[in-house]
Homo-oligomer: A and B are copies of this chain.
Amino acid sequence: LERSPLRRLVELVARPGLLSLAGGLPAPELLPAEAHADAAAAVLRQDPRALQYGPPHRPLAAAIVRLLARRGVVADPSSILITTGAQQAIDIACRLLVEPGAAVITERAVYGGIRQSLAVVRPSLSVVGTDLEDGMDVDALARLLEGGVRPSLLYAISDGHNPCGVELSPDKRHRLVELSRQYGFVIVEDDAYGLLSYGAPFAPPLLALAPERVIYIGSLSKILAPSLRVGWMVLPACLYQAAMRIKEAIDLETSALNQRVAARLLAEPQLEAHLTLLRRSYAERLAAMLSALAIHFPERARYTRPRGGMFVWVELPPGYGDTWALLERAIAEENVAFAPERCFAMATPSGRALRLSFSTASPAEIEDGVARLGRLLAGSTRQQ
């Protein structure tokens, strides 16, 4: 099991003074520290079960049902399994569905946490590409299936794609679900960014189209705070009990206190106000990044124009070398960091892509950071 590149990024980001466009972190100044302290104090004063072992906190499941309604999903509280963050949900899904050697399909570039969880169960992995306009290459998926690949699990990120910042088109959503029915595979849909849309809301996730074929994964890490360590799975009834038993074997239960604090932080109308603040702030940063890219990046660079999430994906034209080496130079020469393609690569990477995060830097810093990277890239071609 390799060291997680995501973790190496987190350590990089911790270096003081570095202008980081690398991490998938929420903006620190938008974390609800005061509301959290108030909620924790109230819970500890009023609820004697907050520090104890106990069953899942029902008001949290009810709050998650309301979050899902915002995504256009009607879910029953009994289908929701509360997990210790979304990573644990991914790990449970892998343990639940994948025997050693079983086929698994992902996109070529996805959130690195799935790689870590899959490494433990050692599947036979196939990858498909991601179209920067409309998401996962469903034609390539259909060819794999026609060619005889029978996956136990297909991993999909429909909205606010990490790392690509792309949305799966409505047409592809329908085709993907049809394929899952035709070939009988389960879709693990990672929707950590689904509520972070900056214009019209995202289309409903795959879960809304095929609840019987989808294990949906949600998280509070991006809309409230990572250190809550609260995520969830929405599971088809036939998989629920088995998933719950795996969850219990992993860590017994998710913190009773954190569950109670989370339920309070998800109460209206505070939640609506908080989401509005996040969306307005991130929308500004996204706009700053896209305009800086247009000005400072090579004309032949291709990049996504997300409507949500935290990331822009950039594919550099040939001639700039591997983006991991470029990262090392960016840190050394320009004191700026991004996330190279290799952090997300489920198969041999092109080496030419990178992820820019617009979540933690101010618009001015984003403009400055993208300009520094543009300068580095301009210098790179001159040297060749």
The answer to whether the Cβ of A37 comes within 8 Å of any Cβ in the partner chain is: yes
Q: Interface centre among A11, A48, A53, A55, by most B CB within 10 Å? A: A53
The answer to whether the Cβ of A200 comes within 8 Å of any Cβ in the partner chain is: no
Residues in A1-35 with C-beta less than 8 Å from chain B:
1-4, 6-7, 10-11, 14, 23, 25-26, 28, 31-34
**Inter-chain contacts of A54 with B (CB < 8 A):** 10, 14
The answer to whether the Cβ of A91 comes within 8 Å of any Cβ in the partner chain is: yes
The answer to whether the Cβ of A187 comes within 8 Å of any Cβ in the partner chain is: no
- For the residues of A in contact with B, the DSSP-based class is helix
CB distance A229 to B251 under 8 Å?
Answer: yes
Cα distance A255–B251 when bound, in Å? 13
The digit string for A217-258, where 1 denotes a CB below 8 A from any CB of B, is: 000010001111100000000000110011011111011111
The answer to whether the Cβ of A44 comes within 8 Å of any Cβ in the partner chain is: yes
Q: Please tell me which stretch of A80-88, A177-185, A312-320, A330-338 contacts chain B, meaning at least 4 of its Cβ atoms lie within 8 angstroms of it.
A: A80-88
The answer to whether the Cβ of A120 comes within 8 Å of any Cβ in the partner chain is: yes
**Inter-chain contacts of A227 with B (CB < 8 A):** 50-53, 255-258
Given contacts A248-B7, A250-B91, contact A41 B37 (CB under 8 A): yes
Cα distance A342–B382 when bound, in Å? 73
Cα distance A53–B11 when bound, in Å? 10
**Inter-chain contacts of A34 with B (CB < 8 A):** 44
Given contacts A51-B226, A245-B2, A246-B1, contact A88 B37 (CB under 8 A): no
The answer to whether the Cβ of A296 comes within 8 Å of any Cβ in the partner chain is: no
CB distance B37 to A226 under 8 Å?
Answer: no
CB distance A87 to B4 under 8 Å?
Answer: no
Q: A3-B245, A31-B51, A120-B246 are in contact. List 12 more A-B contacts (CB 8 A).
A: A6-B248, A10-B53, A28-B49, A28-B52, A31-B52, A40-B44, A41-B41, A53-B227, A84-B84, A95-B120, A119-B249, A250-B250
| Residues of A bordering B, CB below 8 Å | 1-4, 6-7, 10-11, 14, 23, 25-26, 28, 31-34, 36-37, 40-41, 44-45, 48-55, 84-85, 87-88, 91, 95, 113, 116-117, 119-120, 221, 225-229, 241-242, 245-246, 248-252, 254-258
